[in-house]
């Protein structure tokens, strides 16, 4: 089959690799009908996540049709149309039972690696380094899905692939980010990063009862989407002092909750952002937590900072003093997918949201390498790329021939 | 220098393994005819000691440096063993007898303590573990366990550097859903004793398994250190074994990312 493979920093290739097979009794094999590039794939592309190996199949946002099931999987049958969560969960350990699905004890075969780094291991993930299990990902024609009797969500034929695909990661991720904010009626929520997760965090904050949502970014097209689709007020951090602006917009009190939907590769215009850039470029630091620092500074006393953005290592100049002084609540972690997918499917079915609004690029899987670069550089107003395996390549020259919706 | 040494280490190890493997195979055949012949394995060890001692000496002598002198000096006990057939007295004090009380008493032997929690009822956990024949399903270094009587069993494992190690064990304490303790019997390749304790925790919702293992490795404490260089540290091995146990019982399968993992 054809699959998008990681071949080193900024090197992604579409290669022919062996088809997956059933390995365990609860497995299923899914033929991928639609898949996407996630912002967190760019952390792999940029070489920020350790324990990647040459030839690793990328991708953790995918859906498709079940073509084979293991002998102990009685919940799925061949022909089912499913969306697969990016986290792999056994459904039976302490953490799964506590609804902390992304912390599953039993799904990471390389748990010892994560234990060395983090003390304990979270769940295995599709296509996201060997520390997270080394599972081949979903930017491919077929994927083996472990514990497929608890993960994949069956979706009705009345909804298109594009309407339900983002249940695999970014919609639940944005939603959990907002859910973690404990929003009460009248609250103001500020969202750093208006990429796909930020867009869903904005929508979700409103769905959960926020009165105002403020989106922060530097790309005009993303701010426009946050305003037009999300109904957010927007701040372009290249033009304004974000802290000052947020203070002004909230009567000097600060937002009730702040969401860092940026993660470890933040850009910024302040001194600390340049300091992070310099240190990470010389391998003296692991992450660039500029957005997180700002979210902590901006948040009102007793408020919540929610972190759906990915961090990987040891953060430098982390303002714990400010978080302590203001008695902030910090909430973070990979999304507990299985908890949110069914309720969000219901919201889609009821017409409360159509997640396809974020798609800007529709391409063939064969065009993935070029689109990784375009997405990373935010060229061509790129916000979200979806890919069809099996479709003919259409990009002939770099940046050219891209079909924009 | 270091990579070269490493290659030599590996080569030495391979030689030793293949020699001992052959001898062990022969020993098994012998055992069917007569009753065991412990001299054959001693022969192999003598040759291996002589060979590795000579190599170390040559290697050490070829380096005219402090490191070279140390390497050459370290060949002395190996050469002594190779020529005389037993280890120098200074070393044998560390080498075990095959009686568990003598070999494992006080601070002798290697102690490993690990524990794990499962969301599985205690009687299921206990029952699975008590089926000693199931142990190789999650204990990676075990090849086979055969129960020869309700209290006796024969164990075959892969020891340091892939050597086959066999022993007979006796259950010395057994309280259903609480504890299981055993020790190896005289005449075994390793001297080992251990216990597994089972408790309910979190108000009876989870089960905790505590393992305490003791063993005197085939070449004493020095052997355990060498084994640590070539393989995993004992506590990490047991931790991974317990993790597989938990996964097998909780999730019903041991997760694998690809066919080769």
CATH number of the domain bearing residue B193: 3.30.530.20
pLDDT of residue A32 exceeding 90: yes
Q: Output the CA–CA distances (angstroms, integers) from residue B105 to A132, B174, B192, B221, in the order listed.
A: 42, 21, 11, 14
Interfacial residues of B (vs A; Cβ cutoff 8 Å) = 117, 119, 206, 236, 239-240, 243, 246-247, 250-259, 261
Burial of A327: CB neighbours in 10 Å, binned 0-12, 13-18, 19+: exposed
Q: How confident is the model at residue B222 (pLDDT cuts 50, 70, 90)?
A: low
Residues B53 and B83 placed together within one structural domain of the fold: yes
Question: Residue B255: inside a domain, yes or no?
Answer: no
Task: Give the rounded percent of residues in chain B with a pLDDT score beyond 70.
Answer: 61
Q: Nearest residue on chain B to A108, judged by CA atoms? A: B255
Residues B105 and B87 placed together within one structural domain of the fold: no
Residues B82 and B208 placed together within one structural domain of the fold: no
Query: Rounded CA gap, B77 and B55, in Å?
Result: 13
Residues B199 and B73 placed together within one structural domain of the fold: no
Residues B46 and B126 placed together within one structural domain of the fold: no
- The residue from B44, B72, B92 where one domain ends is B92
Contact: B236, A124; criterion CB under 8 Å: no
Query: Rounded CA gap, B109 and B221, in Å?
Result: 7
* Residue closest to A3 by CA, chosen among A25, A23, A19, A26: A19
Question: Residue B50: inside a domain, yes or no?
Answer: yes
* Residue closest to A42 by CA, chosen among A282, A384, A363: A384
Contact: B261, A135; criterion CB under 8 Å: no
**3-state helix vs strand vs coil in chain B, percent to 5:** 50, 25, 25
Homologous superfamily of A2-169+336-388 in CATH?
Medium-chain alcohol dehydrogenases, catalytic domain (3.90.180.10)
Residue B188 pLDDT:
78
Mean predicted confidence (pLDDT) in A85-95: 98
What's the pLDDT tens digit per position in B104-140? 766 667 788 999 999 999 999 999 999 999 999 999 8
Residue B232 pLDDT:
63
Minimum-distance CB partner of B257 among A25, A26, A133: A133
Query: Tokens 């694998």 — which residue?
Result: B256
pLDDT of residue A13 exceeding 80: yes
Determine the distance in angstroms separating the CA of A308 from the nearest CA of chain B, rounded to an integer.
26
Determine the distance in angstroms separating the CA of B177 from the nearest CA of chain A, rounded to an integer.
21
What's the pLDDT tens digit per position in A377-398? 999 999 999 999 988 887 644 4
Residues B23 and B88 placed together within one structural domain of the fold: yes
- The residue from B71, B92, B113 where one domain ends is B92
Minimum-distance CB partner of A134 among B239, B252, B257: B257
Query: Rounded CA gap, B118 and B135, in Å?
Result: 17
Question: Residue B257: inside a domain, yes or no?
Answer: no
Contact: A92, B119; criterion CB under 8 Å: yes
Residues B82 and B152 placed together within one structural domain of the fold: no
Preferred mutation among A105, A129, A130 to probe B, highest tally of B CBs within 10 A: A105
Of the CA atoms within 13 Å of residue A404, those in its CB half-sphere come to: 9
Residues B137 and B77 placed together within one structural domain of the fold: no
Spell out which residues of chain B touch residue A22, defining contact as CB-CB under 8 Å: none
Angle value at C-alpha A138, between A95 and A20, nearest 5 degrees: 95
pLDDT of residue A218 exceeding 60: yes
Residues B14 and B108 placed together within one structural domain of the fold: no
Question: Residue B261: inside a domain, yes or no?
Answer: no
Residue A304 pLDDT:
98
Question: Residue B202: inside a domain, yes or no?
Answer: yes
What's the pLDDT tens digit per position in B48-106? 777 777 777 777 777 767 777 767 767 776 777 676 666 555 555 445 456 776 667 66
Expressed as residue numbers, the domain containing B22 is 2-92
- How many pairs of residues across A and B have Cβ atoms under 8 Å apart? 68
Question: Residue B211: inside a domain, yes or no?
Answer: yes
Residue A395 pLDDT:
65
Residues B80 and B174 placed together within one structural domain of the fold: no
Question: Residue B207: inside a domain, yes or no?
Answer: yes
* Residue closest to A295 by CA, chosen among A210, A178, A223, A190: A190
Residues B175 and B130 placed together within one structural domain of the fold: yes
Query: Rounded CA gap, A336 and B45, in Å?
Result: 56
Spell out which residues of chain A touch residue B236, defining contact as CB-CB under 8 Å: 112
Mean predicted confidence (pLDDT) in B211-228: 68
Q: How confident is the model at residue A402 (pLDDT cuts 50, 70, 90)?
A: very low
Residue A398 pLDDT:
43
pLDDT of residue B7 exceeding 80: no
- For residue B147, what are its two tokens? 């129960």
Contact: B257, A147; criterion CB under 8 Å: no
- The residue from B92, B120, B142 where one domain ends is B92
Spell out which residues of chain A touch residue B206, defining contact as CB-CB under 8 Å: 94
- For residue B36, what are its two tokens? 């065991």
Protein fold of A173-332: Rossmann fold (3.40.50)
**Residues of B102-117 as b/e, b for ≥16 C-beta within 10 angstroms?**
ebbeeebbbebebebb
Residues of chain A with CATH 3.40.50.720: 173-332
Residues of chain A with CATH 3.90.180.10: 2-169+336-388
What's the pLDDT tens digit per position in A271-312? 777 777 777 776 666 677 889 999 999 999 999 999 999 888
Residues B53 and B104 placed together within one structural domain of the fold: no
Contact: A134, B261; criterion CB under 8 Å: yes
Minimum-distance CB partner of B257 among A97, A109, A112: A109
Residue B213 near residue B190 (C-beta atoms within 8 A): no
Looking at the structure of chain B, the number of domains it has is: 2
Residue B164 pLDDT:
80
Q: Nearest residue on chain B to A91, judged by CA atoms? A: B251
Report which secondary-structure segment, H or E, holds B175: strand B164-175
Question: Residue B53: inside a domain, yes or no?
Answer: yes
pLDDT of residue B174 exceeding 90: yes
Q: Output the CA–CA distances (angstroms, integers) from residue B158 to B143, B147, B215, in the order listed.
A: 7, 18, 14
Residue A274 pLDDT:
73
Determine the distance in angstroms separating the CA of A381 from the nearest CA of chain B, rounded to an integer.
36
Interfacial residues of A (vs B; Cβ cutoff 8 Å) = 21, 23-26, 72, 88, 90-94, 97, 105-112, 124, 130, 133-136, 146-147
pLDDT of residue A252 exceeding 80: yes
Maximum C-alpha span of chain B? 67
């Amino acid at each position: 089959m054809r699959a998008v493979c990681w071949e080193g920093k900024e090197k992604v290739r579409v290669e022919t690799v062996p088809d997956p097979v059933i390995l365990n009794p609860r497995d299923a094999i899914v033929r991928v009908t639609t898949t996407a590039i996630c912002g967190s794939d760019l952390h792999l592309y940029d070489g920020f996540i350790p324990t990647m190996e040459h030839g690793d199949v990328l991708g953790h946002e995918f859906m498709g049709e079940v073509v084979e099931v293991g002998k102990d999987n009685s919940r799925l049958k061949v022909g089912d149309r499913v969306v697969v969560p990016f986290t792999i969960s056994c459904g039976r350990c302490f953490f799964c039972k506590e609804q902390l699905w992304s912390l599953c004890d039993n799904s990471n075969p390389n748990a010892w690696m994560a234990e060395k780094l983090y003390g304990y291991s979270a769940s295995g993930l599709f296509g996201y380094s060997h520390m997270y299990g080394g599972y081949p990902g979903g930017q491919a024609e077929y994927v083996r899905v472990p514990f497929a009797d608890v993960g994949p969500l069956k979706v009705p034929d009345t909804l298109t692939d594009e309407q339900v695909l983002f249940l695999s990661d970014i919609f639940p991720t944005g939603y959990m980010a907002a859910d973690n904010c404990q929003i009460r009626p009248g609250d103001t929520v500020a969202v750093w990063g208006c990429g796909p997760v930020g867009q869903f965090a904005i929508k979700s904050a409103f769905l959960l009862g926020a009165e105002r949502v403020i989106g922060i970014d530097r790309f005009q097209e993303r701010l426009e989407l946050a305003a037009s689709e999300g109904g957010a007020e927007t701040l372009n951090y290249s033009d304004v002092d974000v802290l000052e602006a947020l203070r002004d917009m909230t009567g000097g009190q600060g937002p009730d909750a702040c969401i860092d939907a940026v993660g470890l590769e933040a850009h910024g215009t302040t001194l600390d952002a340049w300091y992070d850039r310099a240190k990470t470029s010389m391998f003296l630091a692991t992450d660039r937590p500029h957005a997180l620092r700002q979210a902590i500074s901006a948040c009102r006393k007793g408020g919540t900072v929610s972190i759906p953005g990915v961090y990987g290592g040891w953060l430098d100049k982390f303002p714990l003093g400010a978080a302590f002084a203001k008695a902030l609540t910090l909430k973070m972690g990979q999304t507990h997918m299985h908890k949110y997918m069914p309720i969000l499917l219901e919201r889609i079915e009821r017409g409360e949201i159509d997640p396809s609004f974020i798609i800007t690029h529709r391409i063939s899987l064969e065009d993935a390498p070029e689109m990784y670069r375009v997405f990373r550089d935010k060229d061509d107003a790129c916000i979200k790329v979806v890919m069809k395996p099996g479709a003919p390549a259409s990009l002939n020259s770099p940046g050219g021939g891209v079909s924009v919706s | 220098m270091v990579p070269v040494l490493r290659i030599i280490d590996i080569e030495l190890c391979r030689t030793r393994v293949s020699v001992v493997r052959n001898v062990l195979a022969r020993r098994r055949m012998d055992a069917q005819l007569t009753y065991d012949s412990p001299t054959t394995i001693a022969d192999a060890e003598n040759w291996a000691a002589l060979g590795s001692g000579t190599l170390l000496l040559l290697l050490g002598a070829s380096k005219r440096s402090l490191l070279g002198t140390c390497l050459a000096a370290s060949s002395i006990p190996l050469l002594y063993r190779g020529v005389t057939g037993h280890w120098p007295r200074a070393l044998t004090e560390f080498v075990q007898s095959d009686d568990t009380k003598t070999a494992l008493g006080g601070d002798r032997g290697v102690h490993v303590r690990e524990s794990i929690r499962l969301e599985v009822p205690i009687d299921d956990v206990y029952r699975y573990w008590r089926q000693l024949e199931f142990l190789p399903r999650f204990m990676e270094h075990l090849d086979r366990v055969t129960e020869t009587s309700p209290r006796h069993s024969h164990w075959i494992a892969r020891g340091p550097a892939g050597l086959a190690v066999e022993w007979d064990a006796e259950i010395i304490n057994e309280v259903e859903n609480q504890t299981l303790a055993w020790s190896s019997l005289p005449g075994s390749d390793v001297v080992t004793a251990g216990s597994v304790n089972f408790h309910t925790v979190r108000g009876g919702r989870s089960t905790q398994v505590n393992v305490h293992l003791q063993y005197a490795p085939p070449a004493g404490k020095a052997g355990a250190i060498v084994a640590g260089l070539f393989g995993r540290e004992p506590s990490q091995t047991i931790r991974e074994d317990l993790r597989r146990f938990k996964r097998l019982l909780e999730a019903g399968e041991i997760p694998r990312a690809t066919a080769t993992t």
